[in-house]
């Protein structure tokens, strides 16, 4: 596929109005052609107007039409998988094989959402028929379904250039809901973003949909991001990135004359609690597995296990030695961008000045932005004194906490801010302590893992990639998994409607054959 570097606003190719940028190959610190156009408020306005024009027709596509569109995107991603992975690898320093896997995951997500759309359950169709004889007063016919909230602005993430970027779960779930999407491409991978955007655009055209269903914009500085959040025709925002960026956009959206929902996924250290019996029996295996997962994708993953807490005792030194061995064996690797590399170095210094001791370091790299792995240790009492030790270090670093006893373990668990995930390693004699820890973890996080690691993430109906602030800005929702669609839907109740005026999902006789709640009972009747 030939890259033009243009902004892709609906079906139009739009050239730069605010200069251009080139992608950087972080492995060798060299720019890669072509030049990519940067836009501003005018281009956001064009895309938002088109998205608004597209909304009514797209929101009223049949379930079959919309599902086929999502499958077309999946097929398109499969067709460019190799080319996309090659380009994304040049722009991120991540291995081609890993990025091919990411493309496959992205395509799978679109197919999974096609199934969700066909099943129609996302509509949550609810029918409370009229009860004219009801006492003390009759009930009128009430019917409810969920509809799309409107055009959505999505900020592509830097760290997963496909599955959390242009063709990621946010885009798949918003399109599945019936929302047009304006995607702000991350400047760390503009070429990979264009390849994905062209696939989606071709699927829009092949489906015969309005061109405004999808646009890709790009900008330098904050102008484009701010214009998206401010635009009166944008009805919701999804974001993956830093806490500072996510909260700036969240606060901005609440100051609009008409505030809109902003779903941000920001920061998590995914604490791992190793309970005494598991530590004694499996210390080596757990230490090695933790360090292996922490180093995947050079530690630049939202689900990286970053803090391991274990009570000092049998197995502790074995676990620690296994972690040290794995970290020391790891050669430094290219980080995503110079900015992310510099932030990593700064945060490693922050851990040292907060009192963590460096107990292992990986090999140094040759590349300019190679992140060297580091393992820190601190004792539980010091960790309780210094909450900054529990902040995210985005990159290949982790912290081992030597905990004094069970009481201190629970106290430490209570001190964490909201998390995407938390993990317990337990064996049979850990049940009592696990039962005490569990309610603390339920308050802390959106996902609790037992005897495994949170990363990588499964995409399924029960998946939750969310949690209390600052993991996300709204703990009621997930950004991964089939229920991610719920972020982009809102309920509408139709009272006293004649059947022919009702949406198909709510008509008498259930012509779509979908699951509905009729007078409180689930059925397909």
H-state helical runs in 296-337: 316-328
**Segment near ligand NAP (CB under 6 A), from 118-126, 241-249, 372-380, 423-431?**
241-249
- The single residue among 59, 68, 242, 281 that binds ligand NAP, judged by CB under 6 A, is 242
Report the C-alpha gap between 34 and 191 in whole angstroms: 8
Contact predicate 69/113, CB 8 Å: no
Report the C-alpha gap between 204 and 219 in whole angstroms: 24
Report the C-alpha gap between 82 and 347 in whole angstroms: 35
265 is catalytic: yes
**Segment near ligand NAP (CB under 6 A), from 67-75, 116-124, 245-253, 321-329?**
245-253
Return the number of the residue (96 or 343) whose C-beta is nearest ligand NAP: 343
Q: Does 20 bind ligand NAP (CB under 6 A)?
A: no
Q: Does 473 bind ligand NAP (CB under 6 A)?
A: no
CB of 473 to ligand NAP, least distance (A): 13
Q: Interface mask (CB under 6 A) for ligand NAP, residues 199-238, using x and -?
A: --------------------x--x--xx------------
Return the number of the residue (184 or 402) whose C-beta is nearest ligand NAP: 184
Q: Which residue's structure tokens are 């907060």?
A: 354
Nearest residue to 488 (alpha-carbon basis) of 58, 196, 36: 58
Q: Does 293 bind ligand NAP (CB under 6 A)?
A: no
Return the number of the residue (124 or 475) whose C-beta is nearest ligand NAP: 475
CB of 241 to ligand NAP, least distance (A): 3
Nearest residue to 421 (alpha-carbon basis) of 389, 392, 395, 401: 392
- The single residue among 76, 93, 180, 241 that binds ligand NAP, judged by CB under 6 A, is 241
Report the C-alpha gap between 253 and 235 in whole angstroms: 10
- The single residue among 109, 145, 159, 445 that binds ligand NAP, judged by CB under 6 A, is 159
Q: Does 155 bind ligand NAP (CB under 6 A)?
A: yes
| Continuous segment of H or E residues that includes residue 190 | helix 190-206
Q: Which of 43, 53, 265, 377 is catalytic?
A: 265
Q: Is the peptide bond before 330 cis (omega within 30 degrees of 0)?
A: no
Q: Which of 53, 100, 102, 302 is catalytic?
A: 302
Q: Does 388 bind ligand NAP (CB under 6 A)?
A: no
Q: Does 334 bind ligand NAP (CB under 6 A)?
A: no
Q: Does 263 bind ligand NAP (CB under 6 A)?
A: no
CB of 457 to ligand NAP, least distance (A): 11
Crossing angle for the helix pair 63-79 and 81-92, nearest 10 degrees?
70
Which two three-digit tokens encode residue 353? 């000045």
Report the C-alpha gap between 423 and 433 in whole angstroms: 14
CA atoms within 13 A on the CB side of 298: 23
Report the C-alpha gap between 284 and 263 in whole angstroms: 39
236-to-181, 182, 322, 466 alpha-carbon distances in Å = 10, 11, 46, 17
Q: Does 478 bind ligand NAP (CB under 6 A)?
A: no
Contact predicate 375/358, CB 8 Å: yes
- The single residue among 240, 272, 373, 445 that binds ligand NAP, judged by CB under 6 A, is 240
Q: Residue 419's beta-bridge partner residues?
A: 445
Nearest residue to 395 (alpha-carbon basis) of 373, 377, 419, 378: 373
35 is catalytic: no
Return the number of the residue (235 or 465) whose C-beta is nearest ligand NAP: 465
Q: What is the CA radius of gyration of the chain?
A: 25
Q: Interface mask (CB under 6 A) for ligand NAP, residues 335-354, using x and -?
A: -----x--x-----------
Return the number of the residue (104 or 220) whose C-beta is nearest ligand NAP: 220
Report the C-alpha gap between 351 and 387 in whole angstroms: 11
- The single residue among 70, 127, 157, 234 that binds ligand NAP, judged by CB under 6 A, is 157
Contacts with ligand NAP, residue ranges (CB under 6 A): 155, 157-159, 184, 186-187, 219, 222, 225-226, 240-242, 245, 248-249, 266-268, 302, 340, 343, 394
Catalytic residues: 265, 302
């Amino acid at each position: 596929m030939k890259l033009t570097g243009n902004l892709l606003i609906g079906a139009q190719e739009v050239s730069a109005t605010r200069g251009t940028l080139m992608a950087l190959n972080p492995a060798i610190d060299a720019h890669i052609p072509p030049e990519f156009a940067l836009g501003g408020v005018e281009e956001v306005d064009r895309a938002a107007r088109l998205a608004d024009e597209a909304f009514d027709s797209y929101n009223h596509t049949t379930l079959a039409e919309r599902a086929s569109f999502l499958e077309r995107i999946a097929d398109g991603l499969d067709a460019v998988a190799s080319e996309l992975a090659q380009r994304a690898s040049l722009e991120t320093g991540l291995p081609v094989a890993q990025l091919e896997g990411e493309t496959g995951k992205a395509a799978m997500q679109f197919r999974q959402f096609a199934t969700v759309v066909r099943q129609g359950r996302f509509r949550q169709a609810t029918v409370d028929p009229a009860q004219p004889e009801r006492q003390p007063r009759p009930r009128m016919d009430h019917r409810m379904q969920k509809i799309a909230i409107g055009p959505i602005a999505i900020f592509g993430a830097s760290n997963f250039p496909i599955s959390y970027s242009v063709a990621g779960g946010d885009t798949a779930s918003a399109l599945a809901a019936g929302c047009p999407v304006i995607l702000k491409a991350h400047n760390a991978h503009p070429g990979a973003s264009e390849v994905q955007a062209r696939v989606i655009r071709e699927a829009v055209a092949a489906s015969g949909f309005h061109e405004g269903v999808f646009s890709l914009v790009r900008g330098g500085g904050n102008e484009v991001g701010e214009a998206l959040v401010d635009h009166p025709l944008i009805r919701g925002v999804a974001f993956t990135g830093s806490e500072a960026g996510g909260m700036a956009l969240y606060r901005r959206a609440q100051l609009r004359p008409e505030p809109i929902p902003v779903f941000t996924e920001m920061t998590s250290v995914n604490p791992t609690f190793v309970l005494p019996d598991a530590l004694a029996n499996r210390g080596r295996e757990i230490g090695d597995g933790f360090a292996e997962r922490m180093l995947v994708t050079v530690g630049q993953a939202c689900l990286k296990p970053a803090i391991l807490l274990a009570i000092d005792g049998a197995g502790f030194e074995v676990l620690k030695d296994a972690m040290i061995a794995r970290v020391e064996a790891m050669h430094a690797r290219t980080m995503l961008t110079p900015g992310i590399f510099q932030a990593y170095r700064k945060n490693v210094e922050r851990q040292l000045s907060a009192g963590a001791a460096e107990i292992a370091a990986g090999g140094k790299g040759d590349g300019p932005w190679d992140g060297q792995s580091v393992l820190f240790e601190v004792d539980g009492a010091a960790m309780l004194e210094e909450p900054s030790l529990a902040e995210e270090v985005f990159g290949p670093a982790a912290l081992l906490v030597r905990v004094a006893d069970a009481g201190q373990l629970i106290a430490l668990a209570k001190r964490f801010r909201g998390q995407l995930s938390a993990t317990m390693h337990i064996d049979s004699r850990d049940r009592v302590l696990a039962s005490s820890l569990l309610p603390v973890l339920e308050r802390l996080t959106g996902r609790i893992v037992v005897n495994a690691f949170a990363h990588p993430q499964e995409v399924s109906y029960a998946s939750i990639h969310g949690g209390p602030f600052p993991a996300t800005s709204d703990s009621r929702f997930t950004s991964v998994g089939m229920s991610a669609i719920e972020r982009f839907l809102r309920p509408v109740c139709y009272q006293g409607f004649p059947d022919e005026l009702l949406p198909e999902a709510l008509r008498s006789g259930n012509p779509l054959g979908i699951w509905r709640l009729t007078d409180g009972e689930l059925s397909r009747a």
